[in-house]
């Protein structure tokens, strides 16, 4: 690679690089050809059995990249992640993998643009990475919408048929020649109802048939909605069932963006294909109507008999896609949950495969969405809890530019001098340093992502203040302009920090214990220790819902709070490191398949909208060579 000055556009840099054929890269990292399928010359999909590569007693180092509270211009977290592995492998000759999320088409065509990194630290090929890649998000969309269709269809058929006809049709399998039978999912429902599973359909009494056939879903409790991988604000509230054929069975619902589907979180938090199937089976889509003195009960995908078909649709999405950086180092791309409205991390499967491949002296670098109060907290308390892998180092990405923005916002003075703005902006950086080091006991290296307008005095000042704020080290990263060469100092600090932490006997820790601790206590712990709130506001009906979830056995799950990413608090207007305020929780639900309780703070939309001038204005295809143009 031969970096140019000035740095060209991202897509022009990507087009100037001739990457390795992916089969060559797979051979170099120790993957046998039986463990992957080629998707063209430069992408490959791991097989389900690829997690059976050599398991090592001693694992390599695990590094998570996070950042300060993001500004509208971005701080270069993905760029730093890619630059770090380029430096580790291409320059320091250490085995390393970047494990990152697949970008959603929503931001790609909306305001943010792609997520391949930038400059001379990019995922390659960046156009394919930012578009469909190997189709995982489309598979999630199809499976999710199949479940959504199954929900409405089941409610329709239950409302238009008597008990006997409904039961008869449910157990009359096509091709069975009129001999009714229970399939495996239906037998699990029998067991759930306490009905002997060795009975044949004609051996059930009328009450057993009624209990089996009627899920009696309360439409007001349905939590799973249809999804699409596009920013479309006009789908935030819709009415379904308006055709005459639906016999006035209308329902108000919505669309969400595909990457917030619970199925995406299931893929990201599962350990293997069998685990995916079990998690999909137990996904709660809503609750039954409580009547006759009986409490409402959770209704699962397994109750709908749709889990198996959903798993069939996401079969090829269970394993990561292998691509490369501009310098030919390996990247595993898998899953894409948003961090503000989901748990915001790439998959456990990808991290474990990478850890098996890098060896004892290698490095797995993964990126958590947004800042340490959002993606990193969920990385620790949700992802690491299920993976049983804890990080040896965190990289906190910041920029002089971001500190100035945070400082001026906090001062409410856009004309504040650079020195004063940086000083005030450090309040935000120090809050994230404190969160990572004190709440989770993870050592931090600050990556000061360099921009062309930064002065040497500003860079040196921030470096000094970062170490005073609790960082193990702070290094200027110039990999956007230089590729891996510009992140060598950062990589060396990460290597040293990981080695020191592993030999010190210290261990990273969770913020809270999940088991034996109430959901409310877990919410209060996150909001006070991470968000700086002094109290939590929870309406009575939400407290009742929390009690119901605990009574139904969901009390031991970790908590995922959906909130704004533009502040450490719930309110994007609260800048710096807010404290002594009330944090509102407006609703709670359970993502039983993913394995967490989902708490919503204020108005957080699960369907983004398009700006006045979206990124798709400039995206086109060259008819002469078939290449996509205008991506960034």
How many CB atoms lie under 10 A from the CB of residue 211? 20
- Catalytic hit among 480, 554, 583, 596: 480
Query: At the topology level of CATH, where does 519-600 sit?
Result: Formyltetrahydrofolate synthetase; domain 3 (3.10.410)
pLDDT score recorded for residue 54: 53
**Residue 238 and residue 172 in contact, taking contact as beta carbons nearer than 8 Å:** no
Using the CB atoms, write b or e for 504-519: b if 16+ within 10 Å: eeeebebbbebeeeeb
- DSSP letters spanning 26-50: HHHTT--GGGEEESSSS-EEE-GGG
Is 182 one of the catalytic residues? no
- CA nearest to 321, candidates 8, 624, 43: 43
- Catalytic hit among 167, 338, 370, 379: 370
Write a three-state SS string for 237-248.
CEEECCCHHHCC
The pair of three-digit structure tokens given for residue 265, joined into one six-digit string: 């979180």
Is 156 one of the catalytic residues? no
Is 370 one of the catalytic residues? yes
Strand partners, 100: 333
Is 510 one of the catalytic residues? no
- Catalytic hit among 77, 188, 385, 404: 77
Is 124 one of the catalytic residues? no
DSSP at 540: H
pLDDT score recorded for residue 359: 95
Is 101 one of the catalytic residues? yes
Using the CB atoms, write b or e for 573-600: b if 16+ within 10 Å: ebbbbbeebebbbbebbbbbbbbbbbbb
The pair of three-digit structure tokens given for residue 6, joined into one six-digit string: 């000035």
- DSSP letters spanning 314-379: TGGGSSPEEEEETTS-EEEE-----SSSS--B--HHHHHHHHHHH-TT-EEEEEBSSSIIIIIHHI
Is 97 one of the catalytic residues? no
pLDDT score recorded for residue 56: 63
Check whether the bond before 6 is cis (ω within 30° of 0): yes
- Catalytic hit among 51, 66, 69, 79: 79
pTM, two decimal places: 0.95
- CA nearest to 65, candidates 79, 55, 54: 79
Cα 627 to Cα 35: distance, rounded to the nearest angstrom = 30
The CATH number of domain 138-296 is 3.30.1510.10? yes
- DSSP letters spanning 422-486: HHHHHHHHHHHHHIIIIIS---EEEEEE--TT--HHHHHHHHHHHHHTT-SEEEEE-HHHHGGGG
Widest Cα–Cα separation across the chain: 83
- Catalytic hit among 156, 451, 510, 616: 451
What would the pLDDT profile of 417-457 be if each residue is shown by its tens digit?
A: 999 999 999 999 999 999 999 999 999 999 999 999 999 99
The pair of three-digit structure tokens given for residue 330, joined into one six-digit string: 């390996």
Cα 179 to Cα 172: distance, rounded to the nearest angstrom = 7
pLDDT score recorded for residue 263: 98
How many CB atoms lie under 10 A from the CB of residue 618? 12
Is 376 one of the catalytic residues? no
- Catalytic hit among 101, 188, 189, 404: 101
Domain-wise residue ranges, the chain: 138-296, 519-600
Ranges in the chain, pLDDT < 50: 52
List Cβ neighbours of 526 (8 Å cut-off, separation of 6 or more). Answer: 377, 381, 511, 512, 559, 561
**Residue 109 and residue 619 in contact, taking contact as beta carbons nearer than 8 Å:** yes
pLDDT score recorded for residue 311: 98
Burial class of residue 236 in the structure, from the number of CB atoms within 10 Å of its CB (0-12 exposed, 13-18 middle, 19+ buried): middle
pLDDT score recorded for residue 128: 93
Cα 170 to Cα 181: distance, rounded to the nearest angstrom = 9
CA 253 centroid distance within chain:
23
pLDDT score recorded for residue 578: 97
């Amino acid at each position: 690679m031969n970096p140019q000055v000035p740095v060209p556009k991202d897509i022009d840099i990507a087009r100037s690089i001739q990457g390795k054929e992916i089969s060559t890269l797979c051979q170099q990292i120790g993957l046998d050809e039986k463990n992957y399928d080629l998707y063209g010359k430069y992408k490959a999909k791991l097989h389900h059995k690829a997690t059976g590569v050599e398991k090592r007693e001693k694992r390599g180092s695990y590094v998570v990249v996070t950042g300060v509270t993001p500004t509208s211009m971005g701080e270069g977290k993905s760029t730093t992640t890619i630059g770090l592995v380029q430096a580790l492998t291409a320059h320091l000759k250490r085995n390393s993998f970047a494990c990152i999320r697949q970008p959603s088409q929503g931001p790609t065509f909306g305001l943010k643009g792609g997520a391949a990194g930038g400059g001379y630290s990019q995922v390659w090929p960046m156009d394919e990475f930012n578009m469909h890649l190997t189709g995982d998000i489309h598979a999630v969309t199809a499976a999710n919408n199949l479940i959504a269709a199954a929900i409405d269809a089941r409610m329709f058929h239950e409302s238009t048929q008597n008990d006997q006809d409904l039961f008869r049709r449910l157990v009359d399998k096509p091709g069975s020649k009129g001999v009714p039978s229970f399939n495996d999912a239906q037998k699990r429902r029998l067991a759930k109802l306490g009905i002997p599973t060795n009975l044949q359909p004609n051996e059930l009494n009328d009450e057993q048939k009624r209990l089996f056939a009627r899920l009696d879903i309360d439409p007001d409790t349905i939590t799973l909605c249809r999804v699409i991988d596009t920013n479309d604000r006009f789908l935030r509230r819709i009415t379904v069932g308006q055709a005459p054929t639906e016999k006035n069975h209308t329902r108000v619902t919505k669309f969400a963006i595909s990457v917030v589907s619970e199925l995406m979180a299931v893929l990201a938090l599962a350990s293997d294909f069998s685990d995916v199937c079990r998690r999909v089976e137990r996904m709660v889509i809503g609750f039954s109507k409580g009547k006759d003195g009986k409490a409402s009960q959770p209704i699962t995908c397994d109750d709908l008999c749709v889990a198996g078909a959903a798993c069939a649709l996401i079969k090829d999405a269970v394993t990561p896609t292998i691509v490369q950086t501009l310098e030919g180092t390996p990247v595993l791309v898998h899953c894409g949950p948003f961090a503000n409205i989901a748990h915001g991390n790439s998959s456990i499967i990808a991290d474990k495969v990478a850890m098996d491949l890098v060896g004892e002296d290698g490095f797995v670098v993964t990126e958590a969405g947004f800042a340490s109060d959002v993606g990193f907290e969920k990385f620790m308390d949700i992802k690491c809890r299920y993976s049983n892998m804890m990080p040896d180092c965190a990289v906190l990405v910041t920029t002089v530019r971001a500190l100035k923005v945070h400082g001026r916002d906090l001062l409410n003075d856009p004309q504040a001098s650079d020195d004063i703005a940086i000083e005030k902006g450090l309040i935000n950086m120090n809050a994230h340093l404190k969160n990572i080091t004190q709440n989770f006991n993870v050592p931090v290296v600050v990556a000061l992502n360099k921009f062309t307008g930064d002065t040497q005095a500003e860079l040196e000042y921030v470096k000094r203040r970062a170490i005073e704020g609790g960082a193990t080290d702070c290094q200027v990263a110039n990999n956007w302009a230089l590729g891996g060469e510009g992140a060598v100092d950062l990589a060396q600090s990460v290597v040293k920090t990981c080695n020191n932490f592993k030999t010190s006997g210290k261990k990273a820790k969770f913020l809270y214990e999940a088991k034996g601790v109430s959901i409310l206590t877990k919410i209060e712990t996150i909001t006070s220790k991470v968000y700086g709130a002094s109290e939590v506001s929870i309406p009575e009906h939400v407290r009742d819902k929390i009690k119901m979830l605990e009574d139904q056995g969901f009390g031991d799950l970790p908590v995922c709070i959906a909130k704004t990413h533009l502040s450490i608090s719930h309110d994007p207007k609260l800048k710096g490191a807010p404290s002594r305020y009330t944090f509102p929780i407006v609703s709670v639900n359970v993502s039983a398949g993913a394995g967490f309780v989902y708490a919503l703070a204020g108005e957080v939309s699960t369907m983004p909208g398009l700006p006045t001038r979206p990124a798709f204005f400039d995206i086109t295809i060259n008819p002469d060579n078939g290449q996509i143009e205008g991506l960034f």
